[in-house]
Amino acid sequence: MRIASFNINGVKARLSLLCDWLAEARPDVVCLQELKSQDESFPREAIADLGYNLAIHGQKAFNGVAILSRRPIEDVSRGLPGDDGDDQARWIEATVPGESGAVRVCCLYAPNGNPAPGPKFDYKLAWMARLKARAEALLAAEEPAVLAGDFNVIPQDEDAARPEAWAEDALGRPESRAALRRILHLGYWDALRVLHPAERLYTFWDYQKGAWERDDGIRIDHLLLTPQAADRLTASGVSREMRGRERPSDHVPVWCELEI
DNA sequence: ATGGTTGATCCTCAA
């Protein structure tokens, strides 16, 4: 089962790019972030026509996440637990049955957190703490699960072309990195890094200042696997060429292959 | 030091 994550940066503005990629790459499951669309205006038909079932958690103008799957989508849950007052659409999870067993797929869009320090950075760190709590509960189930999405955290210096440029940014600050490490240290595996330990891997290039042309990228989109999922990992990668297409997102898809 | 880009919605904000 091939599972991909893609921060689409506006699903309506990016519909033709998304449909082209779905038809070419044919991922079994896709986690989308930054829909910037309400449920009612989400382009369901075009995606359903390509053979995908849909579970959407949208919001007006900002955020928004969705799971697309060629297989059935079961037991959908919307919203990250831990704060009933949080109405930002940043989390959707569901079970996808495979040929041998099933996988719990969690699609997440972590807060950007800039400017830091400040209230937005506080919200980011509080959200990451809630993510850790959910990640802990998932581990206790001892089943294959994937945390897939835009974590808005650069894990280590080697995950940025110019790490020094991000040292004070919410995406690269030590507090953000520590929050991600706390989740990894529970027992999660970085599906990209575990198979590509020494590779230059970026998933985001800013629209500004010719970041793409200069390969001034960062790796902030991640696939974290429970041990039961990591045991079945056979391949992973970054669909880098997507950044060079017409009207691209500023992110590209990341994917992994699980024997499920 | 500034400005550079994009999308969605309301003439600004979030990224």
Q: Answer positive or negative: Cα dihedral of A171, A112, A77, A69.
A: negative
| Closest nt to residue A210, judged CA to C1' | B4
Position A247 scores a pLDDT of: 97
Residue-level pLDDT, tens digit, chain A, 260 residues:
999 999 999 999 999 999 999 999 999 999 999 999 999 999 999 999 999 999 999 999 999 999 999 999 999 999 999 999 999 999 999 999 999 999 999 999 999 999 999 999 999 999 999 999 999 999 999 999 999 999 999 999 999 999 999 999 999 999 999 999 999 999 999 999 999 999 999 999 999 999 999 999 999 999 999 999 999 999 999 999 999 999 999 999 999 999 99
Task: Please give the model's pTM, rounded to 2 decimal places.
Answer: 0.98
A101 is near strand B: CB distance < 7 Å: no
Instruction: Return all residues near A156 (Cβ < 8 A) that are at least 6 apart.
Output: A177
Q: For A231 and B8, how far is CA from C1' in angstroms?
A: 42
Pairing of strands A29-33, A65-69: antiparallel
What gap in Å lies between CA A77 and CA A227, rounded to an integer?
A: 22
Q: For A10 and B8, how far is CA from C1' in angstroms?
A: 8
A112 is near strand B: CB distance < 7 Å: yes
Position A169 scores a pLDDT of: 97
- Kindly list the strands in the beta sheet with A221-225, ordered across the sheet, starting from the edge strand earlier in the chain: A74-78, A91-97, A102-109, A145-150, A221-225, A189-190
| Structure-block tokens of residue A256 | 């992994």
Q: For A122 and B9, how far is CA from C1' in angstroms?
A: 26
Q: Nearest residue to B6, CA vs C1'?
A: A207
Q: Answer positive or negative: Cα dihedral of A67, A128, A258, A203.
A: positive
Measured CA to CA in angstroms, residue A72 lies from A29, A52, A54, A124 at distances of: 10, 9, 9, 32
Q: Nearest residue to B7, CA vs C1'?
A: A10
Q: How many CA atoms lie within 13 A of A246 on its CB side?
A: 3
The rounded Cα A128 to chain-centroid distance in angstroms is: 14
A245 is near strand B: CB distance < 7 Å: no
DSSP E strands, A26-173: 29-33, 53-57, 65-69, 74-78, 91-97, 102-109, 145-150
What gap in Å lies between CA A182 and CA A169, rounded to an integer?
A: 19
A61 is near strand B: CB distance < 7 Å: yes
Nucleotides of B under 7 A from a protein CB: 3-9, 14-15
What gap in Å lies between CA A225 and CA A103, rounded to an integer?
A: 10
Catalytic-residue membership of A109: yes
Position A106 scores a pLDDT of: 98
A59 is near strand B: CB distance < 7 Å: no
Q: For A51 and B8, how far is CA from C1' in angstroms?
A: 28
Position A103 scores a pLDDT of: 98
Kindly list the structural domains of chain A, giving each domain's residue range(s) and its CATH number in brackets, ordered by start.
2-258 (3.60.10.10)
| Residue in A150, A169, A190, A221 annotated catalytic | A150
